[in-house]
Structure 1
Amino acid sequence: MRNNMILTFANLLVGNKIDTQTIIHSLTLICDNFLFDCGLLYENDPQNSLSLKENYNPCCMRVRKSILVEEISAEICSQLKTAPFIYVDETECSTTNFALHHYFYAKSVIILPLLDEDSSICGLIVLLNAREKKRICNLELENLSAILNMLSRYVSIRLYQNKLAFARKSLEGILDNTGIDIYVNDFYTHDILYVNKSMAAPYGGISSFEGKKCWEVLFPGTTGQCEFCPQKELIDEHNNPTKIYSWNYQRYFDGAWFRVFSAAFRWVDGRLAHVVSSADITENKRNEEIIKNMANYDPLTKLPNRRLLVVDCEKRINLAVENEKGYVLFFDIDGFKSINDTLGHDAGDEFLVNLGEFFNSISILKDCIYRNGGDEFVAIINGSIEESGLITLLNFIFERFKKPWNLKTGNIICNTSIGIACYPEDGVTAEDLLYKADQAMYQIKKAGGGGICFGRDINRKTNLNSEEG
């Protein structure tokens, strides 16, 4: 019997795929040949319990559908991990035997543990008998032990495969819920090797990446490697991975911003691969723009403020070619305090907004007019305008100031004093030019306001006004 049974099991298990029908067939052969009423196979699940996977139970015995690992006593666990298997029947009266009979509702119980590499119990093969029968002799136990060991090795392959699948699923769960988009491609062919769900979602899902090169999915219509691909930054002269490379990228179809990290590493088959991970920083970018706007723009008039004025002026100076001229115009409103005093600060703010809109509506001043603070505005004009044209522009502005400004609380009439600094004769830095224009404006204010003064005319004993040019 021993040789026939072992041969039968060898033919049944060796070389066959791990499937339920084979396991049930195995349990049937064991029960029929060794006169057991029921054969059960339990395997561990993610809830740390042993669930009934396959069974042979023609007598419809009462059986447990699951076994909590913590329900197994320390004494029984110790025996399961050290003995080939546990065999007890009701003729033995030890505490362990009584517990097993009671637990499995049987007169005879055989338990073979399935252990993982850490000697943790990951499954059980259980044979039960509810009938009166003599105890199995030693020879039968030897035969049964050999057969159960064959079955345990067979099932252990599935347990290992399930463990790998569970580990992979857990890892994918982590990668899909980190808030990071990830994809991996072959370093040289650019074929997609892996993509997580969050990365794939905006492009039609994971199936859209399968069998594709990265640029075919991310940039439809392109026919080769992206110009900005940082691969050359990721390996040394020996083609070995070096460091992580990062940059910011804006997605073309929705404008979303991402912080991207690229690295080279060895894939599971040994090939060199390129992993690209990215985090959505759209909100950060939006906040940066808000902060930048707050730092560089006047909240009332929405015009650029003095900080941006200095920066832009320096840029223009640095870009100036030889013999190129430029002008800084400094505007100060005459009598602005009386507007606040008579009509209120809301009216003063309304006037400043209207004034900013007026300056910005003049084509030559558009996008180069700044609010310096209070009732002061500054304009930067390059040398494309002659001085005579500049005077014409300023006379146009003075004509507007002769007319009333219509506000919600009433109409006002006021004037403006304008100081002008010329680059490079009045200064070669932004601060020098602004200082000279401010000084020129102040001289007009001292003379009564409503006029212009060039930097070169400061301290002249003349009546400076808009009619003189």
Structure 2
Amino acid sequence: MNLQDELILRLATLFADQQVQLDNVRQGQQLITNYFGFDISLVYEPGLNNQLNEMSRYSNTKKEYPKILDLNNLEEEFNNRLIYEGFLMLNKNDELSEYELKLLNMFDAKTLYVESVLDDNDRIFGIVINAGKRLEYSNEEFNLLHITNAMLIKYTSFNLYKKRLRFAQKSLEKILDNTGIDIYVNDFNTHDILYVNESMASPYGGKDKFMGNKCWQVLFPGQTGPCEFCPQKKIIDEKGNPTKVYIWDYQRAFDGSWFRVFSSAFTWIDGRLAHIVSSADITDNKKNEELIKYMAHYDSLTKLPNRRMLLEKCKAKIDNASENEQGYLLFFDIDGFKLINDNFGHDAGDEFLINLGEFFSNIPMLKDSIYRNGGDEFVALIGKVEKESIRSLCHFILERFKKPWELKKGTVFCGVSIGVACYPEDGNSASQLLQVADRAMYNVKKTGGGNMLFGYEIED
């Protein structure tokens, strides 16, 4: 067996290991370097920002060589030759460009042989470099060098691809962990967790708490089966094929946080049907929605529900009223309220209205039934009581208004005029009942105020 055949056989034996070992790579580099009289053999692998980092080296010198190759800084011609020709052979005896001489000096060489590793998109993601002082190489030696480097590249390519795949996987995980969206995937049928990102797993103790378990075992400890609200039936058709994304809102029990949840079915990497659940924290949005809703339905001064809420609640009560059910709408208007503002200022007027709101709210029959209609007008909705109970309530309120009200700026006296409308005899809508109660109240005011009147008692 000649030396060439022996070299190829030794490399073939070395690279027969299906698991790429760096020791095998270095031994292969050693065989090639020593056979062809090179000083150094370098294998570069993908790094960040279009850089190549040294993966393995074998050197017969103590000289320093670049550990990082930045493809952004290399000449376009160099990159193109490695992409389209796959290799580059530079010899100092040849006529070289200024840049080619610069490459030789970079590796302190008289001969430089570079062979590239390309990805599926024909981009450089690995390079093998042999450099040394020997000048003369025959065509037979060059062909052998090409064969042996090809064997080295084929062996290392698998490792380079695995590293690139791991890098891509880690990059994707980083992206998914930092999107601000919680994500997990489970088996559609068994509910076993297949994937979870960091933001989803963190509140529950980390990813290890998820993997190997069913979703409900982690999310709802102690539960023995799938959640009743699980939307799986909404994300597949009658044949079990994935349909569209289903969107729903969910409140987490242990901290009250709200999430907008997106559920969809899809085919997992091994062919099974999977359920991906992604969610975004909308707690602040919910709070804002509640605030907007509160501001739309509650009076900012007295904190009582306002006229809009009054109309909505009155309509709901009428819509849900049973046959022969009676209800009452009480309209309160303060007698002499303007004098408080004139004598003590609007701050005192506001203080008085706040006190009135608290007074009405503390009456058991009016609790959760009193509304500020606007200005110095208050309205109450009361159902399922006798007419005489309404009359007794009004007299109790009238008696209280005969006493002084203590404010920060002094003592004030006010009366109240009360109009009462009855459902259904005075109307079957909020507007009709308000109109009747308002007329009854004004009839009281015309007679001096400080009294109450039912709608049916109005004298036209």
1:155-180 Cα offsets, whole Å, 9 max, x none, are 11112112211221222222122211
Q: Which residue of 1 aligns with 2:399?
A: 399
**3-state SS, counterpart of residue 72 of structure 2:** helix
Q: Which residue of 2 aligns with 1:465?
A: none
1:247-297 Cα offsets, whole Å, 9 max, x none, are 111010110111111000111111111011111111111011111111100
Q: Residues 372-387 of structure 1: matches in 2 within 5 Å? A: 372-383=373-384, 385-387=385-387
Q: Structure 1 residue aligned with 2:33, among 14, 31, 34?
A: 31
Query: What is the number of residues matched between the two proteins?
Result: 457
**3-state SS, counterpart of residue 213 of structure 2:** coil
Task: Provide the rounded CA distance (Å) in 1 between the counterparts of 2:181 and 2:457.
Answer: 63
Structure 2 residues without counterparts, runs of 5 or longer: none
**3-state SS, counterpart of residue 55 of structure 1:** strand
Q: Residues 205-224 of structure 1: matches in 2 within 5 Å? A: 205-224=206-225
Task: Check whether the contact 1:84–1:145 (CA below 8 A) recurs between aligned residues.
Answer: no
Q: 1:409 to 1:60 in 2, by over 3 A?
A: same
Q: 1:83 to 1:378 in 2, by over 3 A?
A: closer
Task: Provide the rounded CA distance (Å) in 2 between the counterparts of 1:387 and 1:75.
Answer: 99
Task: Provide the rounded CA distance (Å) in 2 between the counterparts of 1:109 and 1:149.
Answer: 16
Task: Check whether the contact 2:426–2:432 (CA below 8 A) recurs between aligned residues.
Answer: yes
Q: Residues 296-307 of structure 1: matches in 2 within 5 Å? A: 296-307=297-308
Q: 1:410 to 1:134 in 2, by over 3 A?
A: closer
Task: Provide the rounded CA distance (Å) in 1 between the counterparts of 2:107 and 2:37.
Answer: 17
Task: Check whether the contact 1:258–1:279 (CA below 8 A) recurs between aligned residues.
Answer: yes
Q: Given residue 283 of structure 2, which amino acid in structure 1 is its aligned partner? A: T
Q: Residues 218-297 of structure 1: matches in 2 within 5 Å? A: 218-297=219-298
Q: 1:409 to 1:78 in 2, by over 3 A?
A: closer
1:7-51 Cα offsets, whole Å, 9 max, x none, are 111111123312321111111111122221211111221121122
Task: Provide the rounded CA distance (Å) in 2 between the counterparts of 1:72 and 1:305.
Answer: 73
Task: Check whether the contact 2:111–2:135 (CA below 8 A) recurs between aligned residues.
Answer: no
Q: Which residue of 2 aligns with 1:423?
A: 423
Q: Which residue of 1 aligns with 2:350?
A: 349
Q: Which residue of 1 aligns with 2:165?
A: 164
Q: Residues 46-445 of structure 1: matches in 2 within 5 Å? A: 46-83=48-85, 85-95=87-97, 97-130=100-133, 133=134, 135-383=136-384, 385-445=385-445
Q: Given residue 236 of structure 2, which amino acid in structure 1 is its aligned partner? A: I
Task: Provide the rounded CA distance (Å) in 2 between the counterparts of 1:324 and 1:368.
Answer: 17
Task: Provide the rounded CA distance (Å) in 2 between the counterparts of 1:296 and 1:81.
Answer: 69
Q: CA deviation at 1:103?
A: 2.6
Task: Check whether the contact 1:23–1:54 (CA below 8 A) recurs between aligned residues.
Answer: yes
Task: Provide the rounded CA distance (Å) in 2 between the counterparts of 1:451 and 1:85.
Answer: 105
Task: Provide the rounded CA distance (Å) in 2 between the counterparts of 1:13 and 1:427.
Answer: 95
1:387-435 Cα offsets, whole Å, 9 max, x none, are 2222221111111111110000110111110000011100111111111
Task: Check whether the contact 2:91–2:135 (CA below 8 A) recurs between aligned residues.
Answer: no
Q: 1:139 to 1:340 in 2, by over 3 A?
A: same
**3-state SS, counterpart of residue 38 of structure 2:** coil
Q: Which residue of 2 aligns with 1:4?
A: 6
Task: Check whether the contact 1:179–1:279 (CA below 8 A) recurs between aligned residues.
Answer: yes
Task: Check whether the contact 1:426–1:436 (CA below 8 A) recurs between aligned residues.
Answer: yes
Q: Given residue 5 of structure 1, which amino acid in structure 2 is its aligned partner? A: L
**3-state SS, counterpart of residue 393 of structure 2:** helix
Task: Provide the rounded CA distance (Å) in 2 between the counterparts of 1:425 and 1:117.
Answer: 83
Task: Provide the rounded CA distance (Å) in 1 between the counterparts of 2:8 and 2:311.
Answer: 92
4+ residue segments displaced more than 6 Å: none
Structure 1 residues without counterparts, runs of 5 or longer: 461-469
Task: Provide the rounded CA distance (Å) in 2 between the counterparts of 1:159 and 1:426.
Answer: 86
Task: Check whether the contact 1:62–1:105 (CA below 8 A) recurs between aligned residues.
Answer: no
Q: CA deviation at 1:97?
A: 4.6
Task: Check whether the contact 1:38–1:61 (CA below 8 A) recurs between aligned residues.
Answer: no
**3-state SS, counterpart of residue 53 of structure 2:** strand
TM-score (norm 2): 0.96
Task: Provide the rounded CA distance (Å) in 2 between the counterparts of 1:447 and 1:84.
Answer: 107
**3-state SS, counterpart of residue 26 of structure 2:** helix
Q: 1:429 to 1:58 in 2, by over 3 A?
A: same
Q: Given residue 392 of structure 1, which amino acid in structure 2 is its aligned partner? A: S
Percent identical among aligned pairs is 53
Q: 1:67 to 1:439 in 2, by over 3 A?
A: same
